[in-house]
């Protein structure tokens, strides 16, 4: 995902591991808000039919980075779904966007800057909120814009 460190775009890898959890599954996040993770799991279940109720869920922002902005929501959800399916996200893929309780994907501030930085660093496929879709194409970056969580999951499944 692309987060903002002050005014500078910063690319951060989000990792997730979903594993069978037993009677009281654990939720652990490093670099991300644990309460936000619980909310995202509920939205994932309610609006995309992805159930993790009996699963341990571990999420990590690589490199010790602390992400406090909600723009990480979409990347976190997609990495959880990826782990649950046992299928990695495509190489050169990035995502950002806030996820609301109704399953909507909301725009992140300074979306164009985030996309340009990702393209500059060699990323080739981006999944972003519809409101963050670029008006002009960004060289080397295929941008997919979504409005809802289930739409994002379906799109990722079709990418590979």
Q: What are phi and psi for residue 62, nearest 5 degrees?
A: -65, 145
Within 7-148, residue ranges assigned H as helices are: 34-48, 73-85, 111-120
Q: Which residue carries 């590979």 as its tokens?
A: 160
Phi, psi dihedral angles at 156 (to 5 degrees): -65, -40
Per the listing, tokens 């979903």 go with 18
What is the number of other CB atoms lying within 10 angstroms of the CB of residue 139? 8
Bridge partners for 144 per DSSP: 127
pLDDT tens-digit readout, 11-49: 999 999 999 987 899 999 999 999 999 999 999 999 999
Per residue in 124-160, pLDDT (tens digit) is: 999 999 999 999 999 999 999 999 999 999 999 998 6
Q: What is the pTM of this model?
A: 0.95
Could you give all domains of the chain from N- to C-terminal order, each with its CATH number?
2-159 (3.30.230.10)
């Amino acid at each position: 995902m692309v987060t903002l460190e002050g005014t500078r775009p910063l690319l951060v890898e989000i990792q997730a591991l979903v594993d069978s959890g037993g009677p009281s599954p654990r939720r652990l996040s490093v670099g991300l808000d644990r309460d936000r993770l619980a909310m995202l799991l509920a939205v994932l279940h309610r609006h995309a039919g992805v159930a993790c109720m009996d699963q341990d869920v571990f999420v990590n922002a690589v490199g010790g980075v602390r992400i406090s902005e909600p723009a990480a929501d979409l990347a976190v959800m997609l990495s959880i779904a990826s782990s649950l399916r046992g299928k990695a996200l495509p190489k050169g893929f990035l995502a950002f966007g806030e996820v609301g309780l109704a399953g909507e994907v909301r725009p992140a501030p300074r979306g164009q800057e985030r996309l340009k930085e990702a393209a500059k660093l060699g990323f080739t496929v981006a999944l972003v909120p519809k409101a963050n879709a670029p008006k002009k194409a960004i060289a080397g970056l295929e941008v997919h814009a979504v409005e809802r969580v289930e739409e994002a999951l379906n799109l990722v499944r079709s990418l590979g």
